[in-house]
Amino acid sequence: MRNHYLIFFLLFFFRTSIYAQGCLPYIPHQKINITSDLICPDLLLEDLQFLHEKLLAAHPNLYLYTTPQLFDSAYSEAVLLCSKPQTLYSFTIIISSFLASLKDSHTSVNCMELLQFNRRQRYYFPISLKTIENKIHILKNYKNSLPEGAELLAFDNINLKQCLSESQLLSPIEANAVSAQKEVADVLLGRILNIKSPKAAHNIMYVNGKGDTINNKVTCPKYKRINGDVEWPNVKKDIEFTIDKDRAILSISTFFPFFENRFKRQLDQAFAEILLKKPGLLLIDLRSNSGGFILLQEYLSSFLTPQSNTYATNYIYKRSPYDRFSEFSYFQKQMFKKIVKHQYPNGAISKEYDFYNSPMGSIDTVLDQKHYKNKYGLLYEGPCHVLINGLTMSAASNFTSWFKQNNRGLVIGTPCMGSMTYTCGNPASFILRNTYLPVSISTVKFTPQPFSTLELEAIQPDVFISTTVKDLQNKVDPFLKIKH
DSSP calls for 165-217: HHHHHTS---TT-HHHHHHHHHHHHHHHHHHH---SEEEEEEE-TTS-EEEEE
Three-state DSSP string of 233-265: CCCCCCEEEEECCCCEEEEECCECCCCHHHHHH
Res 235: pLDDT: 67
Task: For residues 55-60, give the mean pLDDT.
Answer: 96
Distance from chain centroid for Cα 471: 26
pLDDT recorded at residue 484: 63
Q: What is the rounded CA–CA span in Å between residue 66 and residue 47?
A: 23
| pLDDT at residue 232, as a whole number | 67
Our measurement of the distance from residue 66's CA atom to the centroid of its chain's CA atoms, rounded to an integer in Å, reads 19
Region of 174 on the Ramachandran plot (φ > 0 left; ψ -120 to 50 alpha; else beta) = beta
**Using CB atoms within 10 A of its CB, is residue 146 exposed (0-12), middle (13-18) or buried (19+)?**
buried
What average pLDDT is seen over the chain? 91
- Report whether pLDDT(416) > 70: yes
Write out pLDDT tens, residues 264-287. Answer: 999 999 999 999 999 999 999 999
| 450: preceding bond cis by omega (within 30 degrees) | yes
In this prediction, residue 483 has a pLDDT band, given cuts at 50, 70 and 90, of low
Cα separations in angstroms, 376 against 175, 265, 279, 299, 315:
37, 10, 20, 12, 28
Residue 21, pLDDT above cutoff 90: no
pLDDT at 48 over 50: yes
Q: Is 217 left (phi over 0), alpha (psi -120 to 50) or beta?
A: beta
Q: Are 158 and 202 in contact (CB under 8 A)?
A: no
| pLDDT of res. 15 | 46
User: How do residues 286-317 score in pLDDT, each as one tens digit?
Assistant: 999 999 999 999 999 999 999 999 999 999 99
Rounded Cα gap, residues 182 and 40, in angstroms? 32
Q: In degrees rounded to 5, what are phi and psi of residue 282? A: -110, 125
As a whole number, mean pLDDT of residues 319-337 equals 91
- Structure confidence by residue, pLDDT tens digits, 26-45: 898 889 999 999 999 999 99
Class of residue 402 by CB neighbours under 10 A (exposed 0-12, middle 13-18, buried 19+): buried
pLDDT of residue 228: 63
List, for residues 208-252, the tens digit of each pLDDT value.
Answer: 989 999 999 999 999 888 866 666 666 678 999 999 888 999 999
C-alpha–C-alpha distance, residues 266 and 272, integer Å: 10
What is the structure's pLDDT at 29?
Answer: 85
Q: What is the pLDDT of residues 427-470, one digit of tens each?
A: 999 999 999 999 999 999 988 887 767 889 999 999 999 899 99
Q: How confident is the model at residue 7 (pLDDT cuts 50, 70, 90)?
A: low
Please provide the distance, in angstroms rounded to a whole number, between the alpha carbons at the two ends of the chain: 59
pLDDT at residue 6 tops 80: no
Helix axes 88-100, 160-169, angle to 10 degrees: 50
Q: Note the pLDDT of residue 348.
A: 87
State the Cα–Cα distance between residues 177 and 381, nearest whole angstrom. Answer: 31
**For the domain 119-228, what is the CATH code?**
2.30.42.10
- DSSP conformation class of 36: T
pLDDT at 119: 87
Q: What is the mean pLDDT of residues 151-171?
A: 96
Residues 6 or more apart from 34 whose CB is under 8 A from it?
87, 88, 89, 114, 117, 118, 195
Q: 180-189, 231-240, 393-402: lowest mean pLDDT where?
A: 231-240
Identify the three-state secondary structure at position 344.
Answer: coil
State how far the Cα of 445 lies from the Cα of 448, in Å rounded to an integer. 10
Strand 410-413 and strand 463-464: the pairing is parallel
Q: What is the pLDDT of residues 357-397, one digit of tens each?
A: 999 999 999 999 999 999 999 999 999 999 999 999 999 99
Are 451 and 398 spatial neighbours (Cβ–Cβ below 8 Å)?
Answer: no
CATH 3.90.226.10 fits 239-481, yes or no: yes
* Predicted local confidence at residue 22, as pLDDT: 86
- Please name the helix (run of DSSP H) or strand (run of DSSP E) that holds residue 11, with its range, or none: helix 2-15
Report, as an integer, the average pLDDT of 1-23. Answer: 54
Which of 13-17, 98-102, 460-464 is the least confident region?
13-17
**Bridge partners, residue 448, by sequence:** 313
- Domain residues of the chain, as ranges? 2-112, 119-228, 239-481
pLDDT in tens, 115-135: 999 888 899 999 999 999 999
CB atoms within 10 A of CB 481: 9
pLDDT of res. 18? 43
- For CA atoms 207, 212, 216, 222, the dihedral sign is negative
Task: Please say whether the beta carbons of 317 and 356 come within 8 A.
Answer: no
pLDDT at position 230 is 60
CA-closest candidate to residue 310, choices 373, 232, 238: 373
